[in-house]
A = this chain, B = another copy of it.
């Protein structure tokens, strides 16, 4: 099976990028969409993110055989409830949320009797909104798909295969895993880094002895690498941390223990421990470059999109 009509609910960075990518790579697929914000709908129509911007979520899903929820994870339940009455019986519902157990539960509760397969394209920039999307966002990026266990309708292998093929057509590499494992992997690769970046940028701006202009002037020494992800969408990230609370708190505890050990090494002057730790982390960076997850373009592919 292949999809004929994709409805996109939420037209920000992810929703807009999916719309543009579908029109580029799967032009035979009809695209409709909706966003709760009228200004976003207007801008989405101007940019042509999808073929038809509808005035309600219910109108957008009329006749769709694939519905992709692209709203912050905390809004998934309400957004799903808004389409429940209009959703075609055979349509597959998916999403792009950064946490998967909570989203799977929210969608299943709002849409009983429908096939649901959550997904998470691990791609993004620090920008958000209807102007942020671009068709190549998913190229060579991973999309993690977390199908439910039987007897859920989303456990149908044919539906899973169709969703995998859809994401591959948009340029993504697909991985299938359990939602709980996804949430643990992403807690360390994405959620914890964001939380730490948000923290250190806040810490720096609160210093009484150092001016904010000094922090900014000398950011080339390392700080600026953190500021990029600390500019990410606040609503999205608030929801991610609250919805993946257990895994994030677990990773945070491990991080704090490790940081405390290095802090102690500095305090007691244990240079050997510091050196060994620092030497070990070099190898990981090299592996990332070898595996192509540092984009062939050394700017991580954001050259066209950074503000």
Instruction: For residue A131, give the distance in angstroms from its CB to the closest CB of chain B.
Output: 15
Contact B223 A225 (CB under 8 A): no
- Closest Cβ neighbor of A261 among chain B residues: B199
**Which of B181, B214, B225, B230 contacts A229 (CB under 8 A)?**
B225
List A193-213 residues whose CB lies under 8 Å from chain B: 193-207, 209-210, 212
Q: How far is the CA of A242 from the CA of B228 in the complex (A)?
A: 28
Query: Do A210 and B184 contact each other (CB < 8 Å), given the known contacts A220-B293, A222-B189, A241-B274?
Result: yes
Instruction: For residue A80, give the distance in angstroms from its CB to the closest CB of chain B.
Output: 20
Interface CB pairs A-B, < 8 A, 28: A123-B220, A175-B217, A185-B214, A188-B204, A188-B207, A190-B218, A190-B222, A192-B200, A192-B203, A196-B200, A198-B277, A199-B258, A202-B281, A203-B258, A205-B284, A206-B258, A212-B287, A216-B284, A219-B293, A224-B293, A224-B300, A228-B285, A231-B285, A237-B278, A252-B259, A256-B259, A289-B306, A299-B300
Contact A220 B141 (CB under 8 A): yes
Q: How far is the CA of A290 from the CA of B248 in the complex (A)?
A: 33
Q: How far is the CA of A226 from the CA of B193 in the complex (A)?
A: 8
Q: Per DSSP, are chain A's interface residues mostly helix, strand or loop, or mixed?
A: helix
**A48 contact set on B, CB distance < 8 A:** none
How many chain A residues touch B (Cβ–Cβ < 8 Å)?
Answer: 104
- Closest Cβ neighbor of A244 among chain B residues: B266
Chain B CB within 8 A of A251 CB: yes
